[in-house]
Each structure stands twice: as C-alpha cells, then as structure tokens.
Structure 1
Amino acid sequence: MSNTLQAPYDHWRNRYLLIRHGHSQANQQGVIVSSPERGVAEFGLSELGEQQLAQRVADWQWPTPTLVVHSDFLRTTQTAAHIATAFGLTPSVETRLRERHFGEFEGQSDDRYASIWALDAEDADHQHHGVEAVSSVAGRMQAVIAEWEQKASGETIVLVSHGDPLQILLTALAGKVLTAHREQTPLAPASITLYGRSV
C-alpha cells in the first residue's frame, strides 16, 4: 500500500540531520517555487535566511556533521554551503531531495498549498493539478536514506531539503499513513531535526 512506508531499519547505522533550507526569497514573496527550471537558478535565501543560517552555525548544538548532501535548488544549495563551510566539508548534490513539484500552481501564491494539502489528506497518490504525489515524494526521500544506510556507517549526514518533502519523510519514517503528513508539526525555515542512530 502506497499510503504508508515503514522505516527501513530497526538499527540505524548513521545519524541524519534533516535541515529545511533557511527563509528564502520565495518565502519572502509568498510564491510557490517548486520546479527545477526556476528553483535551481533563482529564489535563493533571503537576508533573513542568511542570518538564520549564520546563527545556526554560531550556536551549533547537534552532532558534528561528517557529510553534507542537498537538493540542487538555490535555497538549499546556499543553506548547505553555510553548514559545509563551517565544518570544512564539501557538499554534494542529491536531486531526490528536491522540492515537491506543485504542478500548475508553480509561480502562484503560496496560499494555494492549503488546497493541495486537503487533497493529500484524502489520497497520498493523487496528482491533481499536476502535483507530485505524496507517495512519490516519500519514496524518493526514503530512498536517499536507504542508500546511505547501505553504503556508510557511523556518519552524521546533513540532508538539506524542503518543508513538504521533509514532513512527508518524517511521516513515512514514523510508519504513519502518508495522508497524515500535515499533522506533523510544520518545519520552520532553517530548522534541524535529528534522526537515526542515537549514539
């Protein structure tokens, strides 16, 4: 059943710092920027977002990262750069961490999210208005972690992504139905969630 995905492992090999990008120019303008055609080259961090990341680095209270992996959108690339620079790491791109694509709502006001989330609550496989299905987002996001669990051990891996994909991922990892992803506490810009290996 595509509405729920179980966590891939009982015993995690790595720790993951799931980071939503800092406040962005798209957030500032209240517009949906979900297509690679626009999001990779435009709509990076806002001035507030830059300040948020500088503060996160200055007040770092999480395990020390050993790897930084990020969506190739400009806002996530810039967020990853802050973290990587602070810890002397070289960030790497992972396109499966991209923003959820919102189809025909691309470029429209971000108040349109609510209508999609209402549809999500009914069907995790829906693709109304050309929107990427929740189940598809969950699959690609979990695949990133599953791959790292297979090829690495003892790492602390920063995964820089976007609000909807991360909430969907956390819902999937908790073994909850994907239609409930908006019941997760919304992730604030520049928020960090620790997941995986506890020691």
Structure 2
Amino acid sequence: MKSNTSAPELHHLRNQYLVMRHGHSQANAMGLIVSSPEHGLLGYGLSAKGEEQLSRRISEWHLSAPQRILHSDFLRTTETAQRIADHFAIPLEPDVRLRERFFGDCDLQPDNCYHDVWEQDAEDPSQQHRDVESVCQVAERLCALIAELEQRYDDTSLLLVSHGDPLQILLTAAARRPLNEHREISPLMPADVRPLITSQGH
C-alpha cells in the first residue's frame, strides 16, 4: 500500500529563501553516486563544465541578491557557494543538514542506481532499502534547518546551496505535497537556482 507520509509544514515564512543545486561535478561527469561524507567532503568537486555553468549563472542572475549563504559542506557545494559568496560579497557558512542524501549501498555506484531508490520512494517515503537515508529523514533535517533560520533571521534573503535529491524533497515539503511525490517536482539542474515557494494555507 502506497504511503503518503506528509512533510513537516513550511508556510508563513518571514525570510526569503532561494535554493540552488551545485554546479556540474566530477561525480556527475563520471556517472557516479557520491553521497557519503567520506568521499564527498574532500573529493569530487566541480568539473570544468560546472565552473562554466556558475560563471553563466552569476552573469545572468535575475533573482534578488542573497544576503547570506548556507551550504552543504561537500566539496562540490562548498565550491559553488564560495563562487556566489565572492560575487555578492556576502558571508557563507556550512551546515551538515544541507548535505547530500546518503544513498547507502549505492554510494560510489553508477548513477542509474538512483532509479531503483526513487521507485521505492514512490511506494514508501520512509523506506531505507539498501541503507538509504529515507525521504522522511531528509525532509526532517531540512525543515529543522528552516525552522532554526526562522528564529535567527527576520526579513533576510538566504541562499541554500545543496544537492539534487535534498532540494527536490525540500521543494516538495514547501509545496505541502506528499513526500512520495518528490520526483514529480520539476528538478533543479546543476547550477540552477529558484525561490522556495511555500503554500500559504493554515
């Protein structure tokens, strides 16, 4: 039976949030899943293509300028966040809650393994098949970060730099959609940035 486990609620936010996926990485170029801190903190940074994407993104930036940046401490997200921070001359800080979703036994495996995990997610967002971090767990840590930022800041524009799956899940939670639908949200491509839109329902 399909589970429609709900996301933690995110609405009536007093800050403005932009979410950004890191630029094309060496792991993307190699077709590998790199989801563990063991491999992602110091290795698999941005590819040359990723650097070019960020240069283009910065030159074409059309959203409001962020005032602060929080980012995953993986190398590819740190390098992405640093480029944006240098451009806007704003502070940045790492936060482990923005890390990549841990893909368990799929770590360092070919990226076609994602599809098996996503099929399991659609049936049950609390599933941890092959020691994968569940969608529900990812949603919990990201929503906890938003809740903390809501206490720390007021009317501030914050850019959150993270990874594909965590951002899909956060966007699903913000839209107040069932978490098992996270792959139905329009995906962020490498170096994409968009506002975090929340439902205004009570």
Distance 1:196 1:118 in 2: 26
Partner of 1:108: 109
Unaligned segments of structure 2, at least 5 residues: none
Listed as ranges, the matches of 1:59-98 within 5 Å are: 59-98=60-99
Listed as ranges, the matches of 1:39-188 within 5 Å are: 39-188=40-189
* 1:152-195 alpha-carbon deviations (Å, 9 max, x no partner): 11111010000000001111111111111111112100010112
Unaligned segments of structure 1, at least 5 residues: none
The residue type paired with residue 134 of structure 2 is: A
TM-score by length of 1: 0.95
State whether structure 2 residue 35 is matched by structure 1 residue 7.
no
* 1:51-101 alpha-carbon deviations (Å, 9 max, x no partner): 111111111111011001000000000000011000111210000000000
The residue type paired with residue 181 of structure 1 is: H
The residue type paired with residue 9 of structure 2 is: A
Q: Is the 8 A contact 2:73 2:95 kept in 1?
A: yes
Partner of 2:18: 17
Computed over aligned residues only, the root mean square deviation of the Cα atoms, in angstroms, reads: 1.4
State whether structure 2 residue 35 is matched by structure 1 residue 34.
yes
Distance 1:126 1:20 in 2: 24
The residue type paired with residue 66 of structure 1 is: Q
TM-score by length of 2: 0.94
